[in-house]
């Protein structure tokens, strides 16, 4: 008997793949250390000092399982957002929550609408649960709401994914337009509104919590991985009606959260002064990335995230060569969108001054050699 026959037909049909090649894998492949880690949309500014202290204090109790009800974190989020704790679900980062949402809603063969070139980990979960992806191209470098709505209605899709602000282009829609999009969807279609970058976005792009909290067909996903600087802690949360939030209890890993990460998230919420300061630093770094791009004849796109997509003015091969040479020659790790026409761009995450300095020093030489 073949070992592969032990797996389901669905699993046998899927490639063994990782949606993103991490900088650690690149270091192993290249035999070179990353000198500027500005490709994964992490926060090189790190968490607040108060958060590090909370993590240190919690480390001594890491022999204990975390509270399977996540009570304290739910209460902290509820107080911070002004919603009942019953409207909050906790997960091991947005990626885990996305997989659980797909599992809750999608049966094999069911259509799932998303944007062509959008967040690939969501697509990974759809494939892993047997869903059928229906993709809509970007329009003017942002997600096409009219196109997504048309695809939902055409396919009678039970699930649609939309990120605002968007990854990988950094674009965004106004809060009013997002609320209208949710209202226009059929009641039978669940909207995942991915707001991973909400802390770095203009206030007018983020719908008030109360504007969508009572809609049973909307789940908003957020994270501590970006502005709060806790990507390695894996803490995310979802906002939904109480009934939808409770549905996660049917399938989630009840001991999936770690005590140190939970303590970090609670402390991060309590230190909003640091969040204000770090979002200012992210904005400044974003502006510097844009200036570096323009100084080198490239075109930065407007961004509401902690990264900047930069139009290289040519094709995907040229953009990929920039990505490859920055890493191989200078240890500068960046990424690029995966599909045309977005893949004419490179994507550079905000970071500390030293990493921006290395980018500014490295990019001219790379472009000169390629041209």
Q: Please state, in angstroms and rounded to a whole number, the distance separating the CA atoms of residues 181 and 176.
A: 9
The dihedral of CA 52, 39, 202, 164: what is its sign?
negative
Residue 7 included in any domain:
no
Residue 6 included in any domain:
no
Residue 35 included in any domain:
yes
Tokens of 40: 């994964």
What's the pLDDT score for residue 1?
43
Q: Which residues are within 8 A (CB) of 15 and not within 5 positions of it... i.e. 6 or more apart?
A: none
Q: Where residue 362 sits, what CATH number does that domain have?
A: 3.90.1150.10
Residue 142 included in any domain:
yes
Q: What pTM does this model have?
A: 0.95
Q: What is the pLDDT of residues 67-112, one digit of tens each?
A: 999 999 999 999 999 999 999 999 999 999 999 999 999 999 999 9
Mean pLDDT of 227-247: 98
Q: Please state, in angstroms and rounded to a whole number, the distance separating the CA atoms of residues 143 and 118.
A: 8
Q: Please state, in angstroms and rounded to a whole number, the distance separating the CA atoms of residues 142 and 169.
A: 7
Q: Where residue 154 sits, what CATH number does that domain have?
A: 3.40.640.10
Question: Which residue among 237, 270, 303 closes a domain?
Answer: 270
What's the pLDDT score for residue 163?
98
Q: Are 172 and 220 contained in the same domain?
A: yes
CA angle, 29 then 367 then 315, to 5°:
80
Q: What is the pLDDT of residues 264-311, one digit of tens each?
A: 999 999 999 999 999 999 999 999 999 999 999 999 999 999 999 999
Q: Please state, in angstroms and rounded to a whole number, the distance separating the CA atoms of residues 213 and 217.
A: 10
Q: Are 319 and 331 contained in the same domain?
A: yes
Q: Please state, in angstroms and rounded to a whole number, the distance separating the CA atoms of residues 345 and 350.
A: 16
Q: Could you give the count of Cα atoms lying within 13 Å of 158 in the half-sphere of its Cβ?
A: 14
Residue 79 included in any domain:
yes
Question: Which residue among 270, 303, 320 closes a domain?
Answer: 270
Q: Which residues are within 8 A (CB) of 188 and not within 5 positions of it... i.e. 6 or more apart?
A: 156, 158, 217
Q: Are 280 and 303 contained in the same domain?
A: yes
Q: Are 209 and 227 contained in the same domain?
A: yes
Q: Are 209 and 159 contained in the same domain?
A: yes
**Within the chain, how many helices (H) and strands (E) appear?**
14, 12
Q: Are 111 and 185 contained in the same domain?
A: yes
Residue 266 included in any domain:
yes
Q: Are 222 and 174 contained in the same domain?
A: yes
SS3 readout for 183-234: HHCCCCCEEEEECCCHHHCCHHHCCCHHHHCCCCCEEEEEECCCCCCCHHHC
Maximum Cα–Cα distance across the chain: 61
Question: Which residue among 211, 242, 270 closes a domain?
Answer: 270
Q: Are 36 and 359 in contact (CB under 8 A)?
A: yes
Q: What is the pLDDT of residues 8-37, one digit of tens each?
A: 999 899 988 888 888 899 899 988 999 999
Q: Are 358 and 35 in contact (CB under 8 A)?
A: yes
Of 117, 126, 121, 120, nearest in space to 144 by CA:
117
Q: Domain count for the chain, please give it.
A: 2
Q: Are 104 and 153 contained in the same domain?
A: yes
Query: In a 3-state reduction of DSSP, which class is residue 45?
Result: coil
Q: Please state, in angstroms and rounded to a whole number, the distance separating the CA atoms of residues 226 and 200.
A: 9
Of 303, 296, 318, 286, nearest in space to 141 by CA:
303
Q: Are 297 and 247 contained in the same domain?
A: no
What's the pLDDT score for residue 21?
85
Domain that holds residue 206: 49-270
Q: What is the pLDDT of residues 118-158, one digit of tens each?
A: 999 999 999 999 999 999 999 999 999 999 999 999 999 99
Query: Residue 150's Cα: distance from chain center in Å?
Result: 25
Please give the DSSP secondary-structure letter assigned to residue 5.
Answer: G
Query: What is the phi/psi pair of residue 193, to 5°?
Result: -100, 100
Q: Are 39 and 58 contained in the same domain?
A: no
Residue 150 included in any domain:
yes
Q: Are 223 and 327 in contact (CB under 8 A)?
A: no
Residue 217 included in any domain:
yes
Q: Are 88 and 224 contained in the same domain?
A: yes
Better-scored residue on pLDDT, 22 or 244: 244
Q: Which residues are within 8 A (CB) of 268 and not within 5 positions of it... i.e. 6 or more apart?
A: 47, 48, 51, 224, 228, 229, 230, 274, 275
Q: What is the pLDDT of residues 176-225, one digit of tens each?
A: 999 999 999 999 999 999 999 999 999 999 999 999 999 999 999 999 99
Q: Are 158 and 254 contained in the same domain?
A: yes
Q: Are strands 190-194 and 218-223 parallel, antiparallel or unpaired?
A: parallel
């Amino acid at each position: 008997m073949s070992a592969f026959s032990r797996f389901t037909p669905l699993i046998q049909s899927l490639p063994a793949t990782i949606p993103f090649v991490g900088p650690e894998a690149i270091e192993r492949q290249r035999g070179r250390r990353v000198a500027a880690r500005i490709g994964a949309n992490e926060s090189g500014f790190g968490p607040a000092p108060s958060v590090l202290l909370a993590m240190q204090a919690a480390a001594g109790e890491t022999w204990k399982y975390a509270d399977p009800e996540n009570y304290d974190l739910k209460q902290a989020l509820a107080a911070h957002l002004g919603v009942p704790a019953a409207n909050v679900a906790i997960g091991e980062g947005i990626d885990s929550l996305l997989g659980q949402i797909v599992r809750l809603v999608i049966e094999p063969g069911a259509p799932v609408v998303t944007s062509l070139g959008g967040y690939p980990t969501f697509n990974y979960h759809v494939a892993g649960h047997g869903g059928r992806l229906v993709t809509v191209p970007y329009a003017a470098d942002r997600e096409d709401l009219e196109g997504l709505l048309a695809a939902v209605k055409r396919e009678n899709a039970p699930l649609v994914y939309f990120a605002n602000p968007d990854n990988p282009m950094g674009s965004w829609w106004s809060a009013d337009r997002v609320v209208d999009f949710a209202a226009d969807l059929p009641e039978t279609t669940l909207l995942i509104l991915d707001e991973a970058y909400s802390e770095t976005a203009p206030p007018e792009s983020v719908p008030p919590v109360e504007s969508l909290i009572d809609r049973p067909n909307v789940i908003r996903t957020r994270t501590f991985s970006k502005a709060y600087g806790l990507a390695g802690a894996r803490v995310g949360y979802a906002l939904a009606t109480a009934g939808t939030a409770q549905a996660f209890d049917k399938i989630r890993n009840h001991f999936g959260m770690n005590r140190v990460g939970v303590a970090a998230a609670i402390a991060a919420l309590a230190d909003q002064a640091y969040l204000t300061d770090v979002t200012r630093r992210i904005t400044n770094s974003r502006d510097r990335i844009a200036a570096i791009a323009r100084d080198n004849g490239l075109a930065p796109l407007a961004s509401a995230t902690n990264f900047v997509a930069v139009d290289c003015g040519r094709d995907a091969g040229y953009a990929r060569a920039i990505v490859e040479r920055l890493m191989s020659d200078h240890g500068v790790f960046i990424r690029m969108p995966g599909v045309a026409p977005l893949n004419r761009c490179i994507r550079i995450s905000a970071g500390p001054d030293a990493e921006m300095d290395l980018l500014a020093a490295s990019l001219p030489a790379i472009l000169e050699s390629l041209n």
